[in-house]
Amino acid sequence: MSKIHPSAFVDPAANLASDVEVGPGAIIEAGAVIGEGCRIQAHAVITGHVRMGARNTVGYGAILGADPQDYDFKPGTKSHVEIGDDNIIREYVTIHRGTKEGTVTRVGDKNFLMVGVHLGHNSSVGNRVIIANNCLLAGYVEVQDGAVLGGGSVFHQFLRVGKLCMVRGGERFPKDIPPFVSAYGTSMVAGINAVGLKRAGFNSETRLEIKRAFRLIYHSGRNISQALEESKKETWGTEAQYFLDFISSAKKRGVCAAKPVRGTGGSTDDEE
């Protein structure tokens, strides 16, 4: 049966699985749905706009499902936060619900959101994402599977963070970050995230092809439109084509640039 601390407030109209643990001073509002095996630690707040899967941990003082920080938001709007399974959501994380009627802020499965992370309204986090302390994601930010965001980084509204990229801590990003890269500075990429791709099980042939696509886009002397047109002259593997398609679809925010390299070396994508 549920283990609910006597000082917690759980509205009778909240829907909790039978084994959910709720710590001292936590608040769970009417309409919230919390799946089996979840642990809600002390003083966390889960509003009635949250739907949560199984085996999630919600840390001390986290606030999930609060109203968005949007001047156009209407308080009576019906919107939600949807959270999958096996996520670790640490202390003081804030996740705001969607800003338009029927919209969702979404967190997938097996993610690790560290202390003080903020997910703005209508943002989405895929699966197996690591977001380190005090990262701030504005509204409508999309973080794809396997990305790692370094602590204290900030991300402009509507941008995309590609899968399996590595973002250095303490940076700011107003432009899309392509998949499979290492990113730093103000919307800059240093090269391919070779270590991350190895850990994800990408074989050497796939890594080399992604690297070749990266060099075509960033180090061929062409602008991005010219490089994309050049890429159509050959057939690419699934992952390299995904990289190229992501670049091609970066319309709203544009895409990160790369620091020029001298000679044939000097870029982190040369590491294997």
> Which DSSP string do the residues of 166-177 spell out, in sequence order?
EE-TT-EESSBB
CA torsion sign, 115 to 121 to 127 to 129?
negative
Q: In the chain, what is the greatest distance between 2 CA atoms, to the nearest angstrom?
A: 67
**Looking at residue 259, what is its pLDDT?**
77
pLDDT of residue 233: 95
Report the pLDDT value the prediction gives residue 253, as an integer from 0 to 100: 83
For CATH 2.160.10.10, the residue range(s) in the chain are 3-143
**Whole-angstrom distance, CA of residue 244 vs CA of residue 230:** 11
- For the 196-270 domain, the top CATH level (class) is mainly alpha
The pTM score is 0.93
CATH 1.20.1180.10 in the chain: give the residue spans: 196-270
CATH fold group of domain 3-143:
UDP N-Acetylglucosamine Acyltransferase; domain 1 (2.160.10)
pLDDT for position 125: 98
Pairing of strands 27-28, 88-89: unpaired
Task: Tell me what pLDDT residue 109 has.
Answer: 98
> What is the residue-level pLDDT of the chain in tens, covering all 272 positions?
569 999 999 999 999 999 999 999 999 999 999 999 999 999 999 999 999 999 999 999 999 999 999 999 998 999 999 999 999 999 999 999 999 999 999 999 999 999 999 999 999 999 999 999 999 999 999 999 999 999 999 999 999 999 999 999 999 999 999 999 999 999 999 999 999 999 999 999 999 999 999 999 999 999 999 999 999 999 999 999 999 999 999 977 899 999 776 543 334 444 44
How far apart CA 193 and CA 203 sit, in angstroms, is: 13
| Inter-residue contact 150 to 133 (CB < 8 Å) | no
